[in-house]
Structure 1
Amino acid sequence: MAIEKYHNRSHMCGVLRESDIGSTVTLYGWVQKRRDLGGLIFIDLRDRTGIIQIICDQDISRQAFMEAEKIGSEYVVTVRGKVERRTSENPNMPTGTIEVYAETLDIINEAQTPPIYIKDDDEVSESLRLKYRYLDLRKPSMQANLLLRQKISNFVRFFLSNEAFIEVETPVLTKPTPEGARDYLVPSRVNAGKFYALPQSPQLFKQLLMVSGLDRYFQIVKCFRDEDLRADRQPEFTQIDCEMSFVNQEDVIELNSRMLKKMISEIKGVELSLPFPRLTYKESMEKYGSDKPDLRFEMELIDLSDLMANCGFKVFSDTVNNGGQVKCIKVDGKAENLSRKDIGKLEDIAKTYGAKGLAWMKVEIDNDVNAPIKKFFSSDEIQSILQKTEAENGDILLFVADKPSVVAAALGHLRVDIANKFNLYDKNTYQFVWITDFPLLEYDEETKRYVAMHHPFTSPVVEDIEKLTSDPANVKAQAYDIVLNGYEIGGGSIRIHSSDLQSDMFKALGFTEEETREKFGFLLDAFQYGTPPHGGIAFGLDRLAMILAGEENIRQVIAFPKTQNATCPLTDAPSTADQRQLQELYIKTDLPSIDN
């Protein structure tokens, strides 16, 4: 039956309140639940705003009662009736003080028994949820997440527009350029043998917009990276992208700090103070073993290398004397809560990040320790360790000895795992920190060359420009990341705006002049026509929404996400292409056999 035969909807289900008592309303929605009590049938009717209880009383409306006898879960129905006060109130529902007595009820569409329950605690596997995502999205929590995501997008548009930013769309079909991850390639039918790339970011175009004189640009934009996935990564993701001319690092940080402070206030009702704390990259790695530290709790890494160089425990002393480090974290008051088995699990975590093992000491009364490695240390050495770590009775120290990168990774992840295990932070707090002074380049052992730590268009700090060709490892970048609760939610930099300096950067990265002209000639040419100094930042909208929604999986805030294998269980993408399509694109597949 056509929907035109029904009355126009007067209200959404979840917005009805006591002030509507006595009103006649017309509602549309899905049947969440039906309860038949003989002469009365109770229906929980749901739409995206919530649930209202409908009563079909055969003494009031025989038609509504007879239709109600036919319905099942997830039927789509329309109800017209009168709002009354509930005789038995439900304080757990926003509409729990009222109900609607049906005068008419019509079935618009029947529904088969759903393969998943339409409730938040269904405990269904994620693969099944993604296969039936259109049902999964009916859940209140999922709809709340998407509404939260919309609030973030709306807020950003309003804030940046009021700061004189201009929203500009940049191309989705563009040129393959090396920006750090693999490109998704799109073959061109009309240009045989040539390919577009889906953008990893609008990086080059937003810089060209600065050359164009737009001064301030922003965009909420899809980006694509063909990389291995994690719980907080997707092959296609959304960036809040912005760029500004005639600015320095402080300008970018100041404006975006204000935006984030106001966002948290308006969306979460939490007031934060400015300025947000800052750490240099070096400080962050030394103190927290990560360039995205969670500052909701302390537990800093403590460097004991100076004490261990001549100690009796060869594992420690040899590591230090061979250029490595010995560091530990102190877990306050948890010695009795960590059994040998628990410590073994922590050691397994440390080993996944390259550590050879995990040593430990439990501090006891009178500054004594309980530890398998105690026999290798003198009393004075143990006292020196306890003094430097400020460890007290009931604390436990966890040690890793290795090269600095392994020590940082192992202890950095351990501190987060322990904080989660013992709930050492308030989950309703929002702790931002800016990370600055990143290295411009890092050496890639696999390719035996330097690669950009952020991207090739990041400007070195002015005082380090001369080192770009002579000492690239010690060049600092005018780059900055913003971290929230242990997640990097955004990163940016002041860009190179000189064609000569940009050419030098490409040389430092190992590009030949021919490669530079082929891949970036259009950018270098643009720089010849008056380029302002400029910089910007890009935020991960998906990750930001995930944190503000209190989720731990980024797929929870994306309507139709991919799995960790970059597949879509709903549509079975990616799939094979029709042979005719491949011929039109001059593509011939030559896949290896499964046996290979």
Structure 2
Amino acid sequence: MHAFRSHTCADLTAAHVGQTVRLSGWVHRIRDHGGVLFIDLRDHYGLTQVLADSDSPAFAAIEKLRAETCIRIEGTVKARDASLVNPKLKTGAIEVYARAMDILGAAGDLPLPVFGEPDYPEETRLTYRFLDLRREGLHAKMMLRSNVVRAMRQRMWDSGFTEFQTPIITASSPEGARDFLVPSRLHPGKFYALPQAPQQFKQLIMVSGFDKYFQIAPCFRDEDPRADRAPTDFYQLDVEMSFVEQEDVFAAVGPVLQAVFEDYADGKTVDPCADWPRIPYAESLRKYGTDKPDLRNPIEMQVVSEHFRGSGFAIFAKLLETEGTEIRAIPAPGGGSRKFCDRMNAFAQAQGLPGMGYIFWRKKTVESVAQELSITVQATRAKIESAELTLEGVEAAGPLAKNIGPERTEAIRQQLGLGEGDAAFFLGGKPAQFEPVAAKARDEIGRELNLTDTNRFAFAWIVDFPMFEADPETGAIDFSHNPFSMPQGGMEALSGDPLQVKGYQYDLACNGYEILSGAIRNHLPEIMYRAFEIAGYPASEVEKRFGGMVKAFRYGAPPHGGCAAGIDRIVMLLAGTTNIREVIMFPMNQRAEDLLLEAPSAPTNEQLRELRLRVLPPES
């Protein structure tokens, strides 16, 4: 028999009854039933119930055990009584009668419990991550992540892609975030960088004559943390292809991601990739307020500026006199109550706004008809009783409705396709300023009114990103997305207004998160030089920063394109969590600290001397 185990804690069934077995694992919990001790013994694979009574030679030792002690048990497999079978456990039909027990690793007082998984402060969980990872929920998430990566890798190979590894120590490259710099001992005063992404290398692989590349690639970015983004490093499914257009990339990657989601959707429906819509960037912002819309929510915003221009609602009417402003409506089917409208107003105030204008529609009342006709309520009732009038139809309610009048509110209702019991919320100004709040409000309305299908993974390709953007304060032009993208229209497009130039850039959104970003690359040096010139980078700077890539492009570069899908974020969605640290084995906290290994740490004087570096004290 093996020194530590003949079986795992998930192996034993009724077929093993009577056999002598050896198990090793952790004491999940101990129960004392009046002279009979029960241990739930746990390993990577599952749980097995172990029992010992006063006749067991191991009883005295088991009686002293503490939770999470690592032990070895030798004993006999027994069938459980039919009334005691646990169908939730793979081993629920049996138990092991302990005849011997050895402690392999003693456990002290636990800083957080493993059994039961009560909610604990994240700082404690990260400090004792090795204990946190023993908990069933987190253990399952790590296994999910591993299986997702394996499925991605296998499906990429099956699709004709070849896996290559690119360097981890490299040169600095602008990818939209700060680099992690690595000082060079052999070249004092110079620094390597950890790659923000394998961007330049994967393009060089295409120039080198390889056709379809992929890699499960680590990426390093010194970023401010968010719940859905790690502050230091992450992994992505990195892809590049030669001789392709945008649709070829979609056709290659879409089925892979659809299949991975279907494999691990846990009962949720997955939209087939053939149905993933292509939504232009500008349209996505107009309808959803974001370039990563949650299409499980059917609400689409609409521009309603004309209904408020010159209206009695002075705030919006005055606002529209400024160029570049507009009013948008967020329809809320089923939200037509003052209580709901007040809740959404409070939500807007929590986002830093004074509130949101709203209109809701209800069935006409005698009082409202009387007011509309400028007659008494008594006279109105008389007309209704004589069938001269009816209460058919709906009326608009709310302060905003009173300001703009029935004709305008009816025109808004007709445009939005709303009716009795519905509402609409309004935001105005320059779109870039109110769209982030509008996007959150749309999501909140969808959740509050149960319009969002939470049992679905809904995808959308966001396309036609602008190549350039202007700094709102200085007006300076810079790249808005990936600087290596091919502009739509090539060199000719770069001769006009830079802010009108669109790139062959695309993202894939799923349930309100960006899970993939990519582009058809700019492989022609003359177009690259011109694009960077528009963004304020002279040719000398392009040569300095991207000399290797420009050099390669002068020797027959093929048209190529690709993308990168965020593995951490995909697993986060599949695991049903909104905290990316829940699907990373050893994550940093929100201050980019490793509480377990205590990183970052101060270097020793010897290390600094060897690298010829000096550390300045922090600014006071």
User: If the TM-score is normalised by the length of the shorter chain, which range does it land in?
Assistant: over 0.9
Deviates more, 1:491-500 or 1:163-172: 163-172
Contact 2:464 2:504 in 1 (8 A): yes
> What's 1:532 paired with?
558
Alignment equivalent of 2:248, drawn from 251, 263, 270: 251
In 1: Cα distance, 2:140 partner to 2:450 partner? 25
Structure-2 change in CA distance of 1:515 and 1:218 (3 Å): same
AA at the equivalent of 2:484: F
> How much is the aligned-residue C-alpha RMSD, in angstroms?
1.9
Match of 1:229, SS?
A: coil
Contact 2:270 2:458 in 1 (8 A): no
> What's 1:433 paired with?
460
1:554 aligns with 2:552: no
1:386-435 Cα deviation digits (max 9, x unpaired):
22222222222211111111232221111112333444333331111111
Contact 2:271 2:456 in 1 (8 A): no
- Once the two structures are superposed, the pairs formed by residues 484-495 of structure 1 within 5 Å of their partners are 484-495=510-521
In 2: Cα distance, 1:72 partner to 1:309 partner? 73
- Once the two structures are superposed, the pairs formed by residues 413-424 of structure 1 within 5 Å of their partners are 413-424=440-451
Structure-2 change in CA distance of 1:274 and 1:190 (3 Å): closer
AA at the equivalent of 2:513: Y
> What's 1:143 paired with?
139
> What's 2:373 paired with?
none
Alignment equivalent of 2:163, drawn from 156, 167, 170: 167
How far is the alpha carbon of 1:69 from its aligned partner?
0.9
In 1: Cα distance, 2:412 partner to 2:305 partner? 10
> What's 1:29 paired with?
25
In 2: Cα distance, 1:489 partner to 1:447 partner? 32
- Once the two structures are superposed, the pairs formed by residues 52-201 of structure 1 within 5 Å of their partners are 52-59=48-55, 61-62=56-57, 64-87=58-81, 88-119=84-115, 121-201=117-197
In 1: Cα distance, 2:502 partner to 2:517 partner? 15
AA at the equivalent of 2:568: D
1:472 aligns with 2:498: yes
Contact 1:490 1:540 in 2 (8 A): yes
Match of 1:570, SS?
A: coil
Structure-2 change in CA distance of 1:256 and 1:186 (3 Å): same
How far is the alpha carbon of 1:18 from its aligned partner?
3.4
1:45 aligns with 2:41: yes
TM-score (norm 2): 0.90
1:223-281 Cα deviation digits (max 9, x unpaired):
11112110011121111101000111111001111111221222336564241222111
In 1: Cα distance, 2:171 partner to 2:585 partner? 28
In 2: Cα distance, 1:464 partner to 1:520 partner? 20
> What's 2:308 paired with?
308
| Structure whose CA Rg is larger | 2
AA at the equivalent of 1:541: I
Structure 2: which 5+ residue stretches go unaligned?
A: 365-393
> What's 1:389 paired with?
416
How far is the alpha carbon of 1:312 from its aligned partner?
1.1
Deviates more, 1:270-279 or 1:148-157: 270-279
How far is the alpha carbon of 1:469 from its aligned partner?
4.0
How far is the alpha carbon of 1:553 from its aligned partner?
0.3
Match of 1:377, SS?
A: helix
How far is the alpha carbon of 1:194 from its aligned partner?
0.3
Alignment equivalent of 1:242, drawn from 239, 242, 245: 239
Structure-2 change in CA distance of 1:516 and 1:479 (3 Å): same
Deviates more, 1:33-42 or 1:266-275: 266-275
TM-score (norm 1): 0.94
1:508-554 Cα deviation digits (max 9, x unpaired):
22112221111111111111111111000100000001001111100
Structure-2 change in CA distance of 1:464 and 1:378 (3 Å): farther
- Once the two structures are superposed, the pairs formed by residues 571-582 of structure 1 within 5 Å of their partners are 571-582=597-608
Contact 1:440 1:477 in 2 (8 A): yes
In 2: Cα distance, 1:177 partner to 1:91 partner? 55
Contact 1:349 1:414 in 2 (8 A): no
Total equivalences in the alignment: 584
How far is the alpha carbon of 1:575 from its aligned partner?
1.5
In 2: Cα distance, 1:230 partner to 1:493 partner? 25
AA at the equivalent of 1:516: V
> What's 1:360 paired with?
358
In 2: Cα distance, 1:21 partner to 1:544 partner? 43
> What's 1:280 paired with?
280
1:262 aligns with 2:259: yes
- Once the two structures are superposed, the pairs formed by residues 341-360 of structure 1 within 5 Å of their partners are 342-351=343-352, 355=353, 357-360=355-358
How far is the alpha carbon of 1:142 from its aligned partner?
0.9
1:132-151 Cα deviation digits (max 9, x unpaired):
11110001111111111111
How far is the alpha carbon of 1:183 from its aligned partner?
0.8
> What's 1:564 paired with?
590
Contact 1:24 1:82 in 2 (8 A): yes
Contact 1:67 1:107 in 2 (8 A): no
Contact 1:464 1:476 in 2 (8 A): no
Match of 1:152, SS?
A: helix
- Once the two structures are superposed, the pairs formed by residues 437-476 of structure 1 within 5 Å of their partners are 437-445=464-472, 448-461=475-488, 463=489, 465-476=491-502
> What's 2:390 paired with?
none
Contact 2:270 2:457 in 1 (8 A): no
In 2: Cα distance, 1:422 partner to 1:15 partner? 47
In 1: Cα distance, 2:311 partner to 2:116 partner? 55
AA at the equivalent of 2:452: Y
In 2: Cα distance, 1:343 partner to 1:272 partner? 30
Q: Percent of counterpart pairs with the same letter?
A: 40
Contact 2:297 2:443 in 1 (8 A): no
Structure-2 change in CA distance of 1:95 and 1:424 (3 Å): farther
Match of 1:335, SS?
A: coil
Contact 1:9 1:27 in 2 (8 A): yes
In 1: Cα distance, 2:133 partner to 2:79 partner? 31
Match of 2:52, SS?
A: strand
In 1: Cα distance, 2:459 partner to 2:116 partner? 30
> What's 2:431 paired with?
404
In 1: Cα distance, 2:547 partner to 2:307 partner? 54
Contact 1:328 1:411 in 2 (8 A): no
> What's 2:297 paired with?
297
In 1: Cα distance, 2:59 partner to 2:512 partner? 55
How far is the alpha carbon of 1:449 from its aligned partner?
2.5
Deviates more, 1:358-367 or 1:199-208: 358-367
Match of 2:279, SS?
A: strand
Structure-2 change in CA distance of 1:32 and 1:201 (3 Å): same
Structure-2 change in CA distance of 1:256 and 1:130 (3 Å): same
AA at the equivalent of 1:154: R
AA at the equivalent of 1:519: R
1:49-100 Cα deviation digits (max 9, x unpaired):
22221111232x22x2122111010010111222222221234434333222
Match of 1:14, SS?
A: coil
In 2: Cα distance, 1:505 partner to 1:452 partner? 9
In 1: Cα distance, 2:458 partner to 2:418 partner? 26
In 2: Cα distance, 1:493 partner to 1:19 partner? 57
Structure-2 change in CA distance of 1:459 and 1:110 (3 Å): same
